[in-house]
Amino acid sequence: MTFEKDATQHSVPERFYKHFVVLKSCAEPIINTEPSDPKNAAEKALFSDYPFIELSYKSGHFCGGLLVTKRHVVTAAHSFDTDEKKAHVRVLVGISNFYQEPEVIDVEGWTKYVDWPLRKLESPYHDIAVLKLKKEVTTPNVVLIPLYNKHYDKSDIHLESIEWGRTEKSNESPDLLKIPLKIVPRAKCEREFQDLLGDKYYIRMWKLCTRSPKKLYLGSGDSGGPLIYKENGVMKLFGVNEANCDRTCLMLNIC
């Protein structure tokens, strides 16, 4: 993990924009991540295995995210798109379920990814935000996740999404959950959507379609959680979940 060391040599925005070439994964907001068939159930994830995960909290859990420095969290911008949503937000670090004692840190500021002066994105519609914390995380064993800095649109790699979102049994999962995913190539994904929605539908370049072999879906509350790729044994941030896809995603078994 080299991100934290390199961050001392660059300003956070400069370092971030140099390497943050990630894609969002579309997500259906009313989908089961804990289906009745145990073989298809999402697995519990431990903070010790994913020591960069955080939970954004405001009178209840509402968004996931991950640490890229000890004072910066990457998450979904739409979770903070109003002044009301931005106010009085805290992040919880160091837990795998709601019954553990977290480190709680207030959020000092919010920046939409494309508003940073050194951005290299052509579109203003990327649903990615950066939260600045009021102080550095002090939880032991926190690891800062590096960023996958290549464009990839093939189906031959395995990904994971790590989430706190809704299950079929509750409005929120008390446990951190993980689901396996594989990329659906953009052209194939677009054809499947067009078969249902018409030829005018297309998949924007900054979005990524994925499909779970377990037929699991991202749900409400999963926004902002990471899409992770393990490269040479090192976990890297591949994308950020967006929970605004309609029921078409469910029909296609696509996130």
Topology at the third CATH level for domain 158-253: Thrombin, subunit H (2.40.10)
Range ranked top by mean pLDDT from 38-52, 168-182, 237-251? 38-52
Domain boundaries, the chain: 40-133, 158-253
pTM for the whole structure: 0.75
Overall average pLDDT of the 224-249 stretch: 78
Choose among 208, 203, 21: nearest CA to 121: 21
Q: Which residues contact 24 (CB under 8 A, 6 or more apart)?
A: 126, 127, 128, 206, 207, 208, 239, 240, 241, 242
Question: Are 172 and 165 in contact, with CB atoms under 8 Å apart?
Answer: yes
Which stretches of 102-202 are DSSP H helices?
186-197
- What is the per-residue pLDDT for 26? 36
Instruction: State the Cα–Cα distance between residues 158 and 230, nearest whole angstrom.
Output: 8
Average pLDDT over residues 128-143: 89
**In the structure, what pLDDT confidence band is assigned to residue 164 with cuts at 50, 70 and 90?**
confident
Q: Which fold has domain 40-133?
A: Thrombin, subunit H (2.40.10)
Question: Are domains 40-133 and 158-253 of this chain identical in fold?
Answer: yes
Q: Three-state SS for 186?
A: helix
Q: With beta carbons less than 8 A apart as the criterion, state whether 25 and 241 touch.
A: yes
Q: 51-64 pLDDT, tens per residue? A: 988 887 766 666 78
Instruction: Give residue 139's pLDDT.
Output: 93
